[in-house]
Structure 1
């Protein structure tokens, strides 16, 4: 059963889905899942999907083979991978790069599976570069990039990109044909 504090839905402007629909243009979106399927998914996983992703999946499209990301946006029913626990809070609040990390900190004590808790798999750009939507915890509603060397939040407030944070900003950035790491300091640092 979903905890009563999760039963509320985030505030949502009904016009917010229009830019997402436009961003996908003529892309072959899957049919919308519908509200009954979204609510059943939420009940099964004891979560409430963050907006605008929730309304997008229910009313615009459930998955898209042509992106974002490069290899397509997965359908809602494929977004929870074995061992992933979406109802557990996402444990991170800052990037974690484990390759070449000089000392163990809070994040290093987490197992790889625990780092994915509180997220849904959105899809991959290939080369071990995956995207996840945080559905629980302090970063709820943000999209994070997961690679073989670390994880980091996506959006201008976190650096490396000029995009707005969250699912909507991530989709619109992709639709504009921009590099994921388009902030001037990212290019200067060789990112």
Structure 2
């Protein structure tokens, strides 16, 4: 997953649209989080809970991302309120419990990604969704977070009971992360290939 997030990040470096820049930052944080964890654990035999930091940043960044693609400009104050409250919630109530943080993020962004697809189908502003970068990015988040909900409710519990289940749960989670990063990389590549499109991605214009 470390390699795939790094590759997706470098593919997305040329993106200029605000919505895609948020995703690029998200990938960078994911890459650095995994890298720091692995270096500390492999070379220094030290366990750093980088996942806690990543889940906090993930929530803030993806709230920003979905407020942009769902065009919730009138809810800016409410969005900031949710971002601040989420950080307080994670720190005070969850007490940096990674499982609770991951499950909360997974449920919340599964709902938002589903909502975006419903909105896209109802409005049908894009003739070919497969050429629409946000289709692939949202698909990436839907696959990852909906799969993570299943992961949190099943494999994570089993992993605490049996060592083999823990190995399977780790592999399942990494597979979800790999699928997410591949789909995001596809979105960046499509955006790069169709650089003549309006990169605001909020009002996509038809190619002439």
How high is the TM-score relative to the length of structure 1? 0.29
User: Which one scores higher on RCO, CA 8 angstroms, separation ≥ 6?
Assistant: 2
Larger gyration radius, structure 1 or structure 2 = 2
How high is the TM-score relative to the length of structure 2? 0.27
